[in-house]
Amino acid sequence: MNNFLRRLQTSIIQRIKVLSFLRRETGFSLKEIILQGALGGLANAVILVIMTMALQDIYEETADFRIFLMYILAMVILFMAQRRLYFRWVHLLEAGVDRTRNHLAGAILNSRLDFIEGMDLGEVYNRLTQELNNIAQFGAFLITGIQSVFFLLFIVIFLVSYFLPSVIIIGIMTLAGTVIYLGIIRRISERYQHVNAKEVEYFDLVHDILKGTKEIKYHAGRREHIENDAGEVSTNLRNKRIEIGRLYNFGTIFGATFFYVLFGVIVFIVPLFYSLPAGMTIILVAVTIYLTSPINDLVVRIPIFQKVGISIGFIESLENQLLKNEEKIIVPAPQAARTLQDFSRIELDKISFRYKNHNNGDYFSVGPLSLTVRRGEILFLTGGNGCGKTTLLKLIASLYTPDEGKIQVDATQLNETHLYEYRDLFSAVFSDFHLFDRLYGINLADQKSLPDYLEIMKLTDKVSIKNGTFSTLELSTGQRKRLALIVAILEDKPVYLLDEWAAEQDHELRDYFYKHMLGDLRRKGKTLVVVSHDERYYNYADRVIQMDYGKIREEIATNHQQTQEKQ
């Protein structure tokens, strides 16, 4: 009994959660939906009552044209109520889903970068697509469900008025059938959560296959292993879905069989205890048969309602994770004064940053370290793989928030008030850069030098730009990196962060990058922080910072001016 009550409590909470979510995201009026649903249910019930009156007239061999007119009026009311309810609700629901999708996208943009980098992409894709689609498809189901509930309520009142003993028997049987059916639904709900976990796992594998195709193709063992994993997950997913389908079909068959049993009880059992005129028995059977449609409708809707409740739970869980990891940042008004643009130096004072694993344990840390970046200088970062160079770039740009220490721009200590403007000082090409298919935030009318940069980067015959969109991104890694640098230059920011940009370039472009491009950008007043392993070009930097195990091991001053004079 306690288990039943707990399940009932959980089920009620889930349904309240669904209604709460829909009200919050769609702004619908529960009162309006209920009133219109009640109107549709009443019209349906009136139609049934009119039909029973017509049956009675047929049985008594009488006819009344007024009954036909009442039937037509009830049909018109039902049509108008359903039309308004469906159109209104579908609009509200789609608007709410769109609002939720945009809200989640905004929450992702507002979350800490280190948290986003550690997110399960399969889970995010699942929440933003499949789970939101489940909610979007729920509108019509909820409307018909509300109408069915009120229709049943009105018909029960009608039956109680004329067939009270029969209603008691039908009610007891229906209650027993409902308890059994809800048990089936609970099992479906539990298995749906398992299916969702397997879908996320499969999304992750597909992501690995798409991103790691080349690594898979040249390694037969890896290919066989990942194919086996994908096949195993797919088989598990299939089996779980088959199990859900089996339970769902069993519930449907149980519902249909239950009604046949109910009809048999009305026709064969009830007359043994309660005498009814033949005409009234026909009406009772007809009404009961008519009730199968709304009851079956509710039976079908219950698992959908349960599924939507689970989907909302998944989405709210993702939303809570994003909110928990939201950055503290204040977006200034468009007309606010920009005080950091003319900075002289950026100082990192004893900053530390720790990566976290899924169990909140530290598994790599950078710092404590102190560094000053002076305006107009060329600063190289070097060191072994995994020593923290890219992390330091992200700390300089405040893409990562230090766990300890502070960042100062001249005399201004960086906080959430300045963070938005501070980040706008930077353009970057990281080693794991993403190249958008269009030039977001760049006014091409002011970019007369774009053709020259395409020619310098040997991309003139590879890609073009029309209406701010690249003609193609089907380029080699090195070519994509050149295009990413062009985009960064077009952004025209004071500071450039370049993470091993020259690593995938040929000798000619690498030579041009170090000997000419860095100097040209510097002469335009730009500050450059470059991750590089090309020791033969170190003299083109003002300073070289060598890192080791997340700390600055040494700082080497170079004779950059002397190198320039020799040229």
Q: Pick the most confident of 137-151, 429-443, 472-486.
A: 472-486
The predicted structure's pLDDT at residue 9: 47
pLDDT band per the 50, 70, 90 thresholds, residue 497: very high
pLDDT surpassing 80 at residue 198: no
What is the side-by-side strand order in the sheet with 404-409? 362-374, 345-356, 404-409, 412-413
pLDDT surpassing 50 at residue 324: yes
The predicted structure's pLDDT at residue 528: 93
pLDDT surpassing 80 at residue 298: no
Q: Which CATH superfamily is domain 345-566 in?
A: P-loop containing nucleotide triphosphate hydrolases (3.40.50.300)
Which part of the chain is CATH 3.40.50.300?
Answer: 345-566
The predicted structure's pLDDT at residue 530: 92
The predicted structure's pLDDT at residue 529: 92
pTM of the model: 0.67
Structure confidence by residue, pLDDT tens digits, 456-471? 888 888 888 887 788 8
Alpha helices in 265-277 (DSSP H): 270-273
Which part of the chain is CATH 1.20.1560.10?
Answer: 21-324
Closest residue by Cα to residue 71 from 45, 93, 91: 45
- State the chain's mean pLDDT as an integer: 76
The predicted structure's pLDDT at residue 478: 86
Quick check: helix, strand or coil at residue 171?
helix
pLDDT surpassing 60 at residue 563: no
270 neighbors 169 (Cβ within 8 angstroms): yes
Q: Which CATH superfamily is domain 21-324 in?
A: ABC transporter type 1, transmembrane domain (1.20.1560.10)
Closest residue by Cα to residue 151 from 42, 301, 312, 304: 42
Structure confidence by residue, pLDDT tens digits, 50-64? 777 776 666 566 666
% of the chain at pLDDT higher than 90: 3
What is the mean pLDDT of the segment spanning 4-9? 51
Alpha helices in 457-536 (DSSP H): 477-491, 507-512, 518-523
The predicted structure's pLDDT at residue 496: 94
Partner residues linked to 543 by β-bridges: 379, 557
The predicted structure's pLDDT at residue 335: 62
Inter-residue long-range contacts of 329-338, CB under 8 Å, 24+ positions, other chains counted = 329/110, 329/416, 329/419, 329/420, 330/416, 330/417, 330/419, 330/420, 331/420, 332/420, 332/421, 338/421
pLDDT surpassing 70 at residue 417: yes
458 neighbors 432 (Cβ within 8 angstroms): no
Q: At what angle do helices 278-324 and 65-110 cross, to 10 degrees?
A: 10
Structure confidence by residue, pLDDT tens digits, 368-409? 888 889 999 999 988 888 788 888 898 988 888 888 888 888
Query: Can you read off the two tokens belonging to residue 420?
Result: 């938005």
